[in-house]
Amino acid sequence: MSEIREIETTCVIAGAGPAGLMLGFLLARQGVDVVVVEKHGDFLRDFRGDTIHPSTLEVMSELGLIDEFLKLPHTRAPKLSAEMGGRTVTIADFSRLPVKNRFIAFMPQWDFLSFLASQARRYPNFRLIMQAKVTGLLEEQGKIAGLVAETPEGNLTIHARLVAGADGRNSVVREKAGLTVESFGVPSEVVWMRLSKQPGDPNEVVGHGGPRQGFVLIDRGDYWQCGYVIRKGTFAEIREKGIEAFRHMVIEVSPLPADRMLEIRSFDDTSLLAVRIDRLKQWWRPGLICIGDAAHAMSPIGGVGVNLAVQDAVATANILAAPLRESRLSDADLAAVERRRSFPTKATQKLQLMMRSSRRADQADEGKRKGPPAFIRGIARFPALAHLAGRLIGLGFRMEHVRPR
Ligand SMILES: Cc1cc2nc3c(=O)[nH]c(=O)nc-3n(C[C@H](O)[C@H](O)[C@H](O)COP(=O)(O)OP(=O)(O)OC[C@H]3O[C@@H](n4cnc5c(N)ncnc54)[C@H](O)[C@@H]3O)c2cc1C
pLDDT in tens, 320-335: 999 999 999 999 999 9
**CA 355-272-113 angle, 5° bins:** 90
Q: With bands split at pLDDT 50, 70 and 90, how would you rate the model's confidence at 364? A: very low
Distance CA 223, CA 250 (A): 17
In one-letter notation, the amino acid at residue 280 is L
- Residue minimizing CA distance to atom 30 of ligand 1: 168
CATH number of 6-181+277-394: 3.50.50.60
What is the best residue among 35, 167, 299, 393 to mutate for testing ligand 1's pocket, by most ligand atoms within 8 Å of CB? 167
What's the pLDDT at 287?
98
* Distance from Cα 157 to the centre of ligand 1, integer Å: 24
Per-residue model confidence (pLDDT) at position 218: 80
Question: pLDDT for 101-133, tens place per residue?
Answer: 999 999 989 999 999 999 999 999 999 999 999
Q: 35 — alpha (psi -120 to 50), left (phi > 0) or beta? A: beta
Please give the full DSSP string across 347-377, using - where no structure is assigned.
Answer: HHHHHHHHHHHHHHHHTSSTTT--S--HHHH
Q: Which of 40, 43, 48 to mutate to test the pocket of ligand 1 (most atoms within 8 A of CB)?
A: 48
Of all atoms in ligand 1, which is nearest to the CA of residue 113? 49
Please report the atom of ligand 1 found closest to the CA of residue 192: 1
- DSSP tag of 258: G
Rounded to 10 deg, the angle between the 385-394 and 374-381 helix axes is 130
The answer to whether residue 289 scores a pLDDT higher than 80 is: yes
List pocket residues of ligand 1, CB cut-off 6 Å.
Answer: 14-20, 37-40, 47-51, 133-134, 166-168, 172, 192, 271, 273, 292-294, 298, 300, 303-307, 309
User: Which of 261, 279, 278 has the alpha carbon at shortest distance from 270?
Assistant: 261
Q: How far apart are CA 256 and CA 24, in angstroms?
A: 42
Which has the closest alpha carbon to 146: 173, 178, 175, 180? 173
Task: Indicate the pTM of the whole model.
Answer: 0.88
Q: Is the pLDDT of residue 207 over 60?
A: no
Q: Is the dihedral of CA 70, 269, 172, 132 positive or negative?
A: negative
CB-based contact 13:35 (threshold 8 Å): yes
Using CB atoms within 10 Å of the CB of residue 194, give its burial: 0 to 12 exposed, 13 to 18 middle, 19+ buried. Answer: middle
Report the sign of the C-alpha dihedral through residues 238, 244, 247, 249, in that order.
Answer: negative
According to the model, what pLDDT value does residue 244 have? 95
Q: How far is the CA of 114 from the centre of ligand 1 (A)?
A: 14
CA of 48 to the centre of ligand 1 (A): 7
* Sequence-ordered alpha helix ranges (H) in 79-234: 109-120, 172-176
Spatial separation of the C-alpha atoms in residues 37 and 133, rounded to whole Å: 7
| CA–centroid distance, residue 206 to ligand 1 (Å) | 21
- Residues 216-223 have a mean pLDDT of 81
If pLDDT is split at 50, 70 and 90, which confidence band does 267 have? very high
**182 has a pLDDT exceeding 50:** yes
Asked if the model's pLDDT at residue 389 lies above 70, the reply is yes
- Whole-number Å distance, alpha carbon 76 to ligand 1 midpoint, is 22
Q: How remote is the CA of residue 306 from the centroid of ligand 1, in Å?
A: 8
Strand order in the sheet with 215-219: 206-208, 215-219, 223-231, 188-196, 270-274
Confidence label for 231 from pLDDT (cuts 50, 70 and 90):
confident
